[in-house]
Amino acid sequence: MKTSKVKQLCAVALAATLGMSILVGCGSNKGGDKAAASKQEITYNLGADPRTLDPALCTDTTGTTVLANAFSGLAELDENEKAIPGQAEKWDVSDDKLTYTFHLKKDLKWSNGDPVKASDYEYEWKRLLNPETASEYAYALYYLKGGEAYNKGKGNADAVGVKATDDNTLVVTLEAPCPYFLELTAQSYYFPVDQKVVESNKDWANDAKTLVSNGPFKITNYTIKDSVVLEKNENYYDKDKVKLDKLNLKFVAEETSAWASYKSGQFDVVDTVPKSDVQGALKDGSAKSFPNLATYFLSINVSDKAKAVDPNAAKVLSDPKVRKALNLAIDRQSIVDNVTKAGQIPAHGIVGKGIIGPDGKDYTEKTTYFDPKGNVEEAKKLLAEAGYPDGQGLPTLQLLYNPESGHGDTMQAIQDMWKKIGVNAELQSQEWKVFLTTRVQKQFELARDGWNADYVDPMTFLDMFQSTSDQNNCGYNNPSYDALIDAAKKELDPQKRFDIMHQAEDMLMNDMPVIPLYYYTRTIGIKDYVKGARVSVMNTIYFKNAYVEGKK
């Protein structure tokens, strides 16, 4: 998913892995009498304005946080990020692991009272794969038999492996066994939509009156560039566990203003803490740091569209030696120590830290592709070999970023580091929604990028760089890489599967269409009286079990 010291824990923190979420400030009464004495309302500043709240089109973390609290999938994720029953009360899996039969709970309803049917899932999954929908997440449903063929115009919807056999039964057939398929069904792009509502109004996702959902909260107000208001959904199957009456999600992009509002009590939770305040806030407990399975990186436009942006820059950046020189000129340790200052870890590969393989070791132990501190002399040597000694003959390169969350400070640091090898970069800032569109359309030379895991497996970081993926912002196209990813998805032996994924990352990092910078941690402001919220390692806060206790 695209990206922007705990005082009390009532769950065990991730010991050496990121396979567990964290529950914040859980009280012993689990939201009982004391919670009832407090006003059950939380105001949470998400920062950036979501590009869309349509599950088929939403790709950014702000939008998916809204969706994660307003919708519910066949499965939900527990504290270990493993699938547990959600809208499906149970499922059967065939011996060959290719067919999943989901049995929906009885009498499920949408927030408007319409019945939730298995056909709503079939409709939405096929809608997402429909090439006319132009979903960037279509590739995430290529696991379905016939899914890729339909999305590429080589098949039809009827051949896609998802079928509602009655109102409460959904039969799903996969192309190949997928060890994390159940976890995928808990992601926003696998959420259902109310077919009747969607087909009756093409702008349904822009209006709270038609933004019908099936999760713990319903959307009662949506003001673009300002806020989304969620209220308890009385039609939710598990409504008795929902303690909050209202969840106000604000979109104040300027983090200094948001932090001031948090400190004054106007916000109960803020998604980011200004870099200048991080260390002090962690020390005094006004902010807390959480594990985050995510990687911050730069995308280099190596697609055919790069020539239309600037043919000179496109020619330069098409040379792997230039790309590697840019990579080696960056001192990541300096960036995390002096710029971000929130416990981030310098990256040495694209797959995030915290995924434990079949051998019991972190996947990243085998992926140190370069010294995170950089190597200026080697960078200069590579530039000279590419025909640009000390940067002579190089055009000024354009580095694109969005200003939210202090990205400009990081880009400034990179700009200064590149100057040391003779590379001049011009910084260009675009507001979040515009930036996302520019990046997807590949109208850039170099751009800030980042990826939060959708599930705890290396594949979530790797398959987006296949040539068929709409999340492939850099436009990387290597048939050998594509073949390795396809092979890994079909491999049943866990260790062999991880070995193939390592080979794929070896190839990606040798070609270097992306420059990994650091592995995220997540620092947020969250008041001590906010209890029971689950902070996922995949950058989402779930408020289903949250409540307010002791707010003065």
Crossing angle (nearest 10°) for helices 479-490 and 494-511: 160
* Distant-in-sequence, close-in-space partners of 83: CB < 8 Å, separation ≥ 6: 75, 76, 77, 182, 183, 185, 186
Domain extents in the chain: 1-71+215-271+529-552, 72-205, 289-521
Cα(296)–Cα(517) distance, rounded to whole angstroms?
A: 6
pLDDT band, very low/low/confident/very high, at 261 (cuts 50, 70, 90): very high
Cα(483)–Cα(486) distance, rounded to whole angstroms?
A: 5
Q: How far is CA 459 from CA 57, 199, 383, 464, in A?
A: 21, 34, 32, 8
Burial 522-541 (b: 16+ CB within 10 A, else e): bbbbbbebbbbbbbbbbbbb
pLDDT by residue (tens digit) across 128-180?
999 999 999 999 999 999 999 999 999 999 999 999 999 999 999 999 999 99
pLDDT by residue (tens digit) across 523-545?
999 999 999 999 999 889 999 99
CB atoms within 10 A of CB 423: 23
Tokens of 199: 């087909």
Q: In the CATH hierarchy, which fold is given to the domain comprising 72-205?
A: Dipeptide-binding Protein; domain 1 (3.90.76)
Place of tokens 């499965």: 75
Cα(294)–Cα(452) distance, rounded to whole angstroms?
A: 4
pLDDT value of position 419: 98
pLDDT at residue 515 greater than cutoff 50: yes
Burial 337-372 (b: 16+ CB within 10 A, else e): eebbbbbbbbbbbbbbbbbebeeeebbbeebebbeb
Closest CA to 422 of 325, 280, 316: 325
Q: pTM for the whole thing?
A: 0.85
Do residues 346 and 338 make contact, with C-beta atoms less than 8 angstroms apart?
no
pLDDT by residue (tens digit) across 207-251?
999 999 999 999 999 999 899 999 999 999 999 999 999 999 999
Between the two ends of the chain, the Cα-to-Cα distance in Å is 36
pLDDT at residue 6 greater than cutoff 50: no
Tokens of 331: 């001192």
Do residues 81 and 19 make contact, with C-beta atoms less than 8 angstroms apart?
yes
pLDDT value of position 406: 84
pLDDT by residue (tens digit) across 460-493?
999 999 999 989 999 999 999 999 999 999 999 9
Closest CA to 446 of 280, 294, 318: 318
For domain 1-71+215-271+529-552, the CATH superfamily is: Periplasmic binding protein-like II (3.40.190.10)
pLDDT by residue (tens digit) across 48-72?
889 899 999 998 889 999 999 999 9
Q: In the CATH hierarchy, which fold is given to the domain comprising 289-521?
A: Dipeptide-binding Protein; domain 3 (3.10.105)
pLDDT value of position 182: 98
